[in-house]
Structure 1
Amino acid sequence: MPLLSNHIAVVTGAGSGIGRAIAGGYAREGARVVVLDINQQAAATTAKEIRDAGGKAESFALDVTRRDDCIAMAKQVADKVGPVSILCNNAGIARRNGMLGAAEAVINDWEDIIAINLNGVFNVTHAFLGALRASKGRIVNIGSIQSFVHLRTPSSPAYTASKHGVLGFTKALAAELGKDGVRVNAIGPGFIETPLNEKVRAANPDLVKVFIDHTPLGRPGKPEDIVGPAIFLASDMSAYVSGSIVMVDGGYRTI
């Protein structure tokens, strides 16, 4: 029997990369998937791929930085799809800039990254919280190896701060919602090849080499590498797991 039968799963940032892979994985395990992305066409494409493969999916456009829109989306999903029992907060951006650049660029990076990667997780979670408490649901947040470490390459303090924040939010929410039967966990991807970092990988192969040289498994990750952990944390297989982060980094943090 599929692991996620009778569940409705919301996945943000599911128009591409890790979010698209997780949405497809949830659908293969029997969930009805609500695909959310700021890019409406990308969201629709993911949903169509799921339906073409025999799964169930609807898609909607959502900017996770817009709190009122998140609240409206939660109501729309409840009315049109049904009670949500799984939420995967995946939407995010990454910029590899430090603090020593032009002041305007540094400030813009901080505001944009925190708005999407951290405030966005809060906005969507808060909007769907009533449904998740009612269903004794599961929340899966996408953190990072930068939830723990600052990488050995020049990298954005804003991104590092945002992913530390996601892990802290995960733990705090797990402690608060446990009495309601809601489990809250995170996944910490390492260096994953996605459209988000495609240009950086193409323009800076030396940067890629730094990551791979520090990864015991000796390869970059693929979006599909995140799917198994995401299914585990959303399913009853992890019924006694909450407040944790599952690292999917090829062993990066071991050395």
Structure 2
Amino acid sequence: MGVFDQFRIDGKTALVTGASRGLGRAMALALAEAGADLVITGRDEASLATTADEIRALGRKASTKAIDMGVPEACRDGFHECLRDFGPIDILINNIGGRRVAEPIEEQTLESWHHVLDLNLTSCFLGTSIIGAAMLKRGQGGRIVNVSSMNAFVSNRGIGGRSYEAAKAAVVQFTRAAAADWAPHGITVNAICPGLFMTDANRAWNEKKPEVIDKLVAGIPMGRAGEPHEIGPLAVFLASPASSFVTGATHLIDGGYTLL
């Protein structure tokens, strides 16, 4: 097999959560271009349909499931339904997440704290547990990619909602633990830790608080934010045979922000 052939994932089915827009959409499209059929989840059916059409335009199958991953019971049931309706799943990208709140630590409520952890961490646990269990049962290995954040390692200034940093740091260690458990079974579990990418959500944030985005960009050695399409090749690598000896790894993609 040639080098470039190792990045092909033809005949595989990938489930990407939070794939209706942003980084999830970019990764789903990249996996489709590399040959995978997609199952994508999100809360908004209209945007899911738009992304699914883009995937089909690349010649791949696309199925959608509207799920609010921030509600643990809905998240759990949604993963089981994806397996039942669209399985088997060969590749899982636990992408869903977000800060969602901006309260200072001293003002954040317990309810708000739990909501952010459920969205970012509990959803990752449930996806890994449910889809990973099916991979173990099939006995053919698999690929799991958990999307954490550079905020697992650094805290942004001028932003509240520190439950986000806590959750994303936990995702990294959960990834390492799952990788250790499942390596003997041919299931790799890795993490992607994005920095600042100019998704629609961050463009909207830039409209409200440009000083926050400006400060972040000022701390990036490359001198710019990332564009969503730049995360796609990393997702393909971790989903493909090219990464067959990579597990438990954390891949920062932040333009060098965490170097300073």
TM-score by length of 2: 0.90
Give 3-state SS (helix, strand or coil) of 1:55's partner: coil
Aligned residue-pair number: 252
Aligned to 1:80, which of 85, 91, 106?
85
Name the residue aligned to 2:119: 116
What is the distance in 1 between the residues matched to 2:26 and 2:153? 24
What is the distance in 2 between the residues matched to 1:170 and 1:47? 28
The 10-residue stretch of structure 1 (242-251 or 131-140) with the greater mean CA deviation from structure 2: 131-140
What is the distance in 2 between the residues matched to 1:30 and 1:138? 15
Note the alpha carbon deviations across 1:175-223, whole angstroms, 9 max, x for none: 1111111100000100111123333211211111111111011111111
Name the residue aligned to 2:164: 159
What is the distance in 2 between the residues matched to 1:67 and 1:7? 27
Give 3-state SS (helix, strand or coil) of 1:9's partner: strand
What is the distance in 2 between the residues matched to 1:30 and 1:208? 35
Aligned to 1:59, which of 42, 45, 64?
64
In the alignment, structure 1 residue 6 sits paired with structure 2 residue 8: no
Indicate how the Cα distance of structure 1 residues 75 and 154 shifts in structure 2: closer, same or farther if over 3 A, else same: closer
Name the residue aligned to 2:186: 181
In the alignment, structure 1 residue 35 sits paired with structure 2 residue 40: yes
Give 3-state SS (helix, strand or coil) of 1:183's partner: strand
Q: CA deviation at 1:74?
A: 4.0
What is the distance in 1 between the residues matched to 2:35 and 2:60? 7
Name the residue aligned to 2:105: 99
In the alignment, structure 1 residue 194 sits paired with structure 2 residue 199: yes
CA contact under 8 A between 2:13 and 2:39: conserved in structure 1? yes
In the alignment, structure 1 residue 23 sits paired with structure 2 residue 42: no
CA contact under 8 A between 2:65 and 2:82: conserved in structure 1? no
Name the residue aligned to 1:131: 134
Indicate how the Cα distance of structure 1 residues 157 and 69 shifts in structure 2: closer, same or farther if over 3 A, else same: closer
Give 3-state SS (helix, strand or coil) of 1:19's partner: helix
Indicate how the Cα distance of structure 1 residues 78 and 114 shifts in structure 2: closer, same or farther if over 3 A, else same: closer
Give 3-state SS (helix, strand or coil) of 1:149's partner: coil
Which runs of 5 or more structure 1 residues have no equivalent in the other structure? none
What is the distance in 1 between the residues matched to 2:62 and 2:209? 37
Letter in 1 for 2:116: I
What is the distance in 2 between the residues matched to 1:136 and 1:46? 28
In the alignment, structure 1 residue 217 sits paired with structure 2 residue 222: yes
CA contact under 8 A between 1:132 and 1:138: conserved in structure 2? no
Name the residue aligned to 1:241: 246
What is the distance in 1 between the residues matched to 2:246 and 2:115? 32
Indicate how the Cα distance of structure 1 residues 178 and 82 shifts in structure 2: closer, same or farther if over 3 A, else same: same
Name the residue aligned to 2:210: 205
CA contact under 8 A between 1:71 and 1:128: conserved in structure 2? no
Which runs of 5 or more structure 2 residues have no equivalent in the other structure? none
Aligned to 2:51, which of 46, 50, 61?
46
Give 3-state SS (helix, strand or coil) of 1:100's partner: helix
Q: What is the RMSD computed on CA atoms of the aligned residues?
A: 1.7
Give 3-state SS (helix, strand or coil) of 2:40's partner: strand
Q: CA deviation at 1:40?
A: 2.3
The 10-residue stretch of structure 1 (149-158 or 180-189) with the greater mean CA deviation from structure 2: 149-158
Indicate how the Cα distance of structure 1 residues 193 and 97 shifts in structure 2: closer, same or farther if over 3 A, else same: farther
Q: CA deviation at 1:240?
A: 0.6
